[in-house]
Amino acid sequence: MIDCGEGTQHQIKCSQLKSSKLHSIFITHLHGDHCYGIFGLLHMLKAGNRTNPLHVYGPIGIQSLITNALYASGGWNGFEIIIHELGVHGTKYEQDTILNYCTTSETKPPSTSPSQSYHQTSFQVILNPQNKCQFRYKPNQIISLGEIDFGISAFACPITHRVETFGYVFIEKDKEGILNAAKATALGAKGPQMGMLKRGIDVTLKNGTTIYSKDVVGDNIRGKKIAVMQDCSYIDSAFEIAKDCDVLIHECTYDQSHYDNAITFGHSTASMAATHALNLKAKFCCSHNFPGFFFFLHITQKIY
Ligand SMILES: [Zn+2]
């Protein structure tokens, strides 16, 4: 799952998806429309008697967001939650936290808990008064998350938005080429020899003839590559790992008449999303906007 906005658990219940099959959640950034649904989802999974661990990846702050919320609401005695915090300057995730069976009696209060009986916080003073972004990340600033499941490797790339934000790229392993069974049979292969040839093993028949795997098996089939770039204005760091992707999912909050707003607030126009797709040579691009400031759904096949 990529991001977990408000009401995600309701959408899952309305869909054909089985929440029990959820393996990992990749949070792109900590704006509420991308992560505030995680608390409801965790409790829905717990109510469904989930026992498998759940991995959560996200920028620095995701760990305190989840643990503080769970602590404040009485602790957690559900399945294991494995949190991977990503740092933009590291080549690997900087901290892994395993949250398992923490209850109020077993867990110390978060360090940010107020020490006084009454504590007032003004969020105004900690908000970035500008709330704007102008920075760009360097190319190829990629964090490898390793093989996450089912032969799929994941990569995180810091992308430009108002808060620390990651794009994610998922790459499926290449598959073995297709065996030309008719040709192999004609050359004399049979039974288990077919499997050997498919696995790249040459076979020598009783009559001394050798059948070479490369002569009867096609080239490896390239695994699919999917790139997901949520709120962002620039994706420089992702170009190398995301190029030639089969599918690019990219936000676009504005039309081109609001280009200045897009740059100022770290979002994209539809044209910017399409330009990124062209530069990546993406085969398929789906652009969308979650909060609905500007309704736009654009799907293009063979865009280059
Ligand atoms: Zn955002």
* Distance in Å, CA 225 to ligand 1 centroid: 24
pLDDT on residue 301: 42
Q: Tell how far the Cα of 207 is from the centroid of ligand 1, in angstroms.
A: 68
| Domain around 190 | 181-208
Do residues 241 and 264 both lie within one domain?
yes
Instruction: Return the minimum-mean-pLDDT range out of 68-82, 85-99, 260-274.
Output: 85-99
CATH number at residue 63: 3.60.15.10
Examine the domain organization and report whether 230 and 298 are in the same domain.
yes
Instruction: Provide the pLDDT for residue 255.
Output: 86
Number of domains in the chain: 3
Q: What is the structure's pLDDT at 229? A: 96
User: Does the residue 216 lie in any domain?
Assistant: no
Q: Kindly report the three-state secondary structure assignment for every residue of the chain.
A: CECCCCCHHHHHHHCCCCHHHCCEEECCCCCHHHHCCHHHHHHHHHHCCCCCCEEEEEECCHHHHHHHHHHHCCECCCCCEEEEEECCCCCCCCEEEEECCCECCCCCCCCCCCCCCCCCCCHHHCCCCCCCCCCCCCCCCCEEEEEEECCEEEEEEEECCCCCEEEEEEEECCECCCECHHHHHHCCCCCHHHHHHHCCCCEECCCCCEECHHHHECCCECCCEEEEECCCCCCHHHHHHHCCCCEEEEECCECHHHHHHHHHHCCCEHHHHHHHHHHHCCCEEEEECCCCCCCCCEEEECCC
Question: How confident is the model at residue 104, as a pLDDT?
Answer: 35
Q: Is residue 214 part of a domain?
A: no
What number is the average pLDDT over the span 21-28?
94
The answer to whether residues 67 and 139 belong to one domain is no
- The pLDDT score that the predictor gives to residue 176 is 86
Residue 117 has pLDDT above 80, yes or no: no
Higher pLDDT among residues 138 and 253, named by residue: 253
Interval 163-221: pLDDT, tens: 889 999 999 999 889 999 999 999 999 999 999 999 889 999 999 999 999 999 999 89
pLDDT for 291: 53
Which residues are part of the catalytic machinery? 33
Q: Which residues lie near ion ligand 1 (Cβ < 5 Å)?
A: 31, 231
134 Cα: distance to centroid of ligand 1 (angstroms): 15
Does position 95 have pLDDT exceeding 60, yes or no?
A: no
Is residue 99 located within the same domain as residue 137?
no
Which position has the higher pLDDT, 34 or 288? 34
Residue 97 has pLDDT above 90, yes or no: no
Which whole number is the average pLDDT over 66-72?
Answer: 90
16 alpha carbon to ligand 1 midpoint, in Å?
28
Residues 95 and 151 in one domain: no
- Whether residue 116 is found in the same domain as residue 132: no
Average pLDDT, rounded, for the chain: 82
Please indicate, yes or no, if residue 215 is contained in any of the structural domains: no
